[in-house]
């Protein structure tokens, strides 16, 4: 197990110094899901929600969140993101919308937190836009699926 990098030798929190790292292309893919009543999923997919285009708004919210990650996560570095993409995969059988974000940067540190933040805020936005009709929705399984670039190399979840 690797040591935690966000603490100094006295146990105090610190922002990791990435100044000596190589600038490389870094990509991270994250996924999560929000489960709901089947009627809520139909409302979203048929674009009948009173607040408007739920998935369109969630996509924009996820993109905006990725761009603001360093404002939300205390030790995250501000990054000049090259690309943020969000995709939604409705599963009517399970009454779930899977959310996937892909974030890309050319920098000295990775974009895992940006990808995870994008998925989380997209899911929260879906919840917010539909809570009037379904307070029992559940956001779950937010996880890193893949990352590439940088010193630690490639990671892909099985």
Q: Which residues are catalytic?
A: 128
Per the annotation, does 77 bind a ligand? yes
Per the annotation, does 124 bind a ligand? no
Query: Strand, helix or coil at 37?
Result: coil
Strands 96-107 and 155-156 turn out to be unpaired
Distance between the two ends of the chain, CA-based, in angstroms? 19
Per the annotation, does 30 bind a ligand? no
CB of 13 closer than 8 Å to CB of 7: yes
Query: Strand, helix or coil at 130?
Result: helix
Per the annotation, does 113 bind a ligand? yes
Distance, CA of 117 to chain centre: 4
Angle at 100 between CA 33 and CA 108, to 5 degrees: 130
Per the annotation, does 76 bind a ligand? yes
Which tokens belong to 18? 């990435």
Angle at 35 between CA 32 and CA 41, to 5 degrees: 115
Q: Please state the residue numbers annotated as binding site for substrate.
A: 75-77, 113-114
């Amino acid at each position: 197990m690797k040591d935690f990098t966000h603490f100094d030798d006295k146990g105090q929190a610190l922002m990791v110094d990435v100044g000596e790292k190589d600038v490389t292309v870094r990509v991270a893919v994250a996924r999560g899901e929000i489960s709901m009543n089947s009627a809520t999923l139909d409302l979203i997919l048929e674009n009948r929600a009173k607040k408007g285009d739920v998935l369109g708004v969630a996509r924009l919210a996820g993109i905006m969140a990725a761009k603001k990650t360093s404002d939300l996560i205390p030790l995250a570095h501000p990054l000049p993101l090259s690309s943020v993409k969000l995709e939604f995969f409705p599963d009517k059988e399970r009454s779930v919308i899977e959310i996937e974000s892909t974030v890309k940067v050319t920098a000295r540190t990775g974009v895992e937190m940006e990808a995870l933040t994008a998925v989380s805020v997209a899911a929260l936005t879906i919840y917010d836009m539909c809570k009037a009709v379904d307070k029992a929705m559940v956001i779950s399984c937010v996880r890193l699926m893949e990352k590439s670039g940088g010193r630690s190399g490639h990671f892909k979840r099985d």
